[in-house]
Each structure stands twice: as structure tokens, then as C-alpha cells.
Chains A and B, each alone.
Chain A
């Protein structure tokens, strides 16, 4: 853990695309056990920020620290090994694999040893499989363990994605709009799941729906044109004038 108590810390991180500044000098910290929301209008740079944090994009400027360790510019798979996991805005699963296999591959990623890569059997029992089963149970997909991922409903696919993100033993989980496009019944399932997970790990959540943010998050950050324009409790943020101006016409209420 870093001396200042941050699990994940961004210092003045920027990302440019040619002349376009997608992420503009953001400093941000997440402590252990925190659930943080990120909101902002479309094109505010929320997903780009995730891409920069998780190593898909290299920041143009600034440093990123995970558990006090500088991870700026490391490749994505190394950052994942260090305990960061993410989901994607559009579902990102392995369509032609079963639910079990999808999660199994993730668990194996942390458990792999060079000598069993080529010739060991992928037993349905054994510690890796057991852990995969446990994760599937946690997210509530146990009845669909052997379904093809592509045959799942959209909401279940979103849940599967969270299960896959969990499979690599993250200390911090980045969720990019986990409820987007999901039917009302399934939204509750996902919210409850995230709520349960928040007891075990830090979570950063991109979300459009303020109700969900208010229910889940201790703390909200508002992005606009790549800049951080407000940070604080949900209530404080929704009273912020600049935030209201951005969301003009949309009602922001914290229930």
C-alpha cells in the first residue's frame, strides 16, 4: 500500500489523440474498500480514462500508481497480473466458450505454471476448476455453467463479464457501465452483485444512471471534456452548479 493510503492513484494523467485532448490532467485516488463512481456526458473521456488506467492506452503525460507501485506504460496483461481487472462497455466475452471455460481461463491466468501449459489436463475438478465454480456461484450463474456464452441473455453476459473480471483475483475492479442495455429485472441483479463485491474490493464504476451511482458509490467524480469538474458525495455533486449546467435539461436527483 502506498504511504498516502491510495490503492490506485493518478497524478496529472493526460491522453491526447492528435490535437484532441481526451483526458486532461486528471489526479485521482481510490482507497481500499472504496466504491467510486465516474459520471459525465458522452464523450467526456470516461472510457478513455479506463483505457489509460488499465494499460490499453499509454498516457501522454502523468503517472499511475497501483498499490504505490508505478504502473505507467506497462502492458495491459502485466497490470492485470498486479491486481487490476476491468469490464467493457460492450460485452466482451468469449462467445464460443462455455461459462465455465470463460471463467476457467481467467482463473488459470493467475495459476499457470509453464510446465502444465502444454500437457496437463483441464480437469473439471482440481483447485482451478473449483475456484472457477465458486466464482460462477458468487455471481449466480451456476445453473448456466455449461451454456455457451453466446447463448446467454444480454444481462447474463454482463454478469459473466463481471465473473471473468473477478477470476483474476483483482484488488480493484473497474466496471464500465455494467447495466447499460440491460432489462430492468436484470439491472437489480447486477446492482446487488456489485454491492456484494464492494465489501471485498475497491470498485470504480462508470455509470449513466444517477440512481445507481447514488445507491452504490461513496464518492462521485464528474468528467467533462476530459477534465475533472467536480468530486464529492453524490448529493454535493448534484448540487454543484457546473455539473447542473452540463446536465442542463436532465434532472439530477439523489434519492
Chain B
């Protein structure tokens, strides 16, 4: 196998693993949009929150795995009241609600800056085995991340399609009014959805913390990428979001071999513009009229 092919293969691999992490974040975004009709502008910062919390919990608990369990719980405790008491009053005004999430985004970033500080820090790989494929050594933790991410995505799928509560959530995505007419407790669905979405982003943050650096603005880049992903995949479409996350991130991974990271992002942005020109609601979004 020629050298360049191996390089491309590994870039593709990295891109796919990154795509799985982005998919977790973007699935949360698209779920929240589907049920609440808003795009959560603070979603990238919830990812950052996950990473920062992991950074703090690691020395206390001594185990990455405890952090992986504890961080989602903490996030859930924060996200629930945020939806119920901060966002709920603006229900029915999507633009206003989205500006409110912008406010939350500023607050989260500044709290992180004030407590965690402005310097990027690194978390050591929780598992330090690596294996050699095609003469290149590859960190085992990345494969583990992929496995966990896939497990969670499958879990979300089973939850939404196999459990009663999941079916309620999907019914609310289909038609809010109908759902409340059928006696579904919309209030609890709203809170639950926001919590699930936030927790997904926080888990992605924990998983990504050892791969990337932990930084109070780390949510910006990731947020941007997952916004592009949900727009391309179609807001509210879970399958579309997954496909878009994997495709766009592998594309970005491969492009990164010839372009700078910013140029690779710009390329993905161009893809988004083309998709929007052809389909204003994304590739798999519901069609108007």
C-alpha cells in the first residue's frame, strides 16, 4: 500500500471518530430542535462544560470512567432547571429563545474562564495501549471512544424507537399540538429532551477531553461544526444528522491533509451553502408545503 493511501486511511479514520463525537453533539441539537423548535446556541458550551467537569473530576475520583458517569448526571441537574425556568418563559418565540441561549452561552464560557482559567490544559489518555496497523501505531483510546459513541447512539436509537417515553418524544417532534391533544405531558417531554440533548453534548466533551485540549472556548469550533452538520442533515432529522456528521467530518479529516483547518472548515461551509440552495431544510429535513 503506498504511503499516501495509508495517510489518507488514517485521516479518514480520525475523521470518522471525530464524526462520531460530533454526531453525539449534533443529535442532541437536532432532538432539541425537533421538540422545542429552537437551536440551542449554548450547545457547544455544554460540550466544553463536559470536558471541564471531567478535568476537575479526574483527580478527585481518580478514574476517567467515574467521570464519564458523573459528568452527565451533573449536566442533567444543571440542564433541567435551565430549560424549565430560563428558556420555558419564551416558549413559542423561537428567535427570542435562541437569543436567550446565546446569553447562557456567554455565562457558561465566562464561568469556565473565571474558575478553570484561560489556558488550555491536557488530560492524559485514560487507557494507554496503542496498536500497530500497517506499520503505524494508533492510540487505542480513540477506538474506545468510537465504541462508546456508537453504543450511546444505539442506546439513543433504542430509547427513541423502543420505549414508550421515546415514542412520546418522537410524537412531539412530529406534531406538538397533536401530542398535547393526545394527553402527552408536553412539559415533561420538553425538560427531558433538553436534558438528553445537553447530556449528549457533555458526554461528547468528556470523551473528547483527552483527544483535544480542554479550553474554555473549545465549544466554539465544535458548536460551529455541529450547527453546520444539523443544517446539512436537516434539523429535526435524527438519521440525517448522523449521516451528515459522519460524512462531513470524514471529508474534513481528509481535506485537512491538503488544506489548513480553517480552509477545511470553509470547504464544509461551502457544502452547506450548496445544500441550502437546493434544499432549504437540509438533506433530510421535512419539506415545506
> Using a CB–CB distance below 8 Å, which chain A residues touch chain B?
56-58
Contacts and interface: CB of A to CB of B under 8 A. Distances in A.
Interface residues on B, range: under 10
3 contacts: A56-B289, A57-B289, A58-B289
A56 B289 CA distance: 7
A57 B289 CA distance: 5
A45 B289 CA distance: 15
Nearest to A17: B289
B89 to A, nearest CB: 22
Interface string B83-99: 00000000000000000
Contacts of A57: 289
A114 B289 CA distance: 30
Contacts of A58: 289
Contacts of B289: 56-58
Interface in B255-289: 289
Nearest to B288: A57
A210 to B, nearest CB: 28
Interface in B93-119: none
Nearest to A51: B289
A96 B289 CA distance: 28
A58 B289 CA distance: 7
A50 to B, nearest CB: 14
A96 to B, nearest CB: 16
Nearest to A58: B289
A29 B171 CA distance: 40
Contacts of A56: 289
Nearest to B289: A57
3 A-B pairs closest in CB distance: A57-B289, A58-B289, A56-B289
B92 to A, nearest CB: 16
Interface string B189-226: 00000000000000000000000000000000000000
Interface in B130-189: none
B281 to A, nearest CB: 16
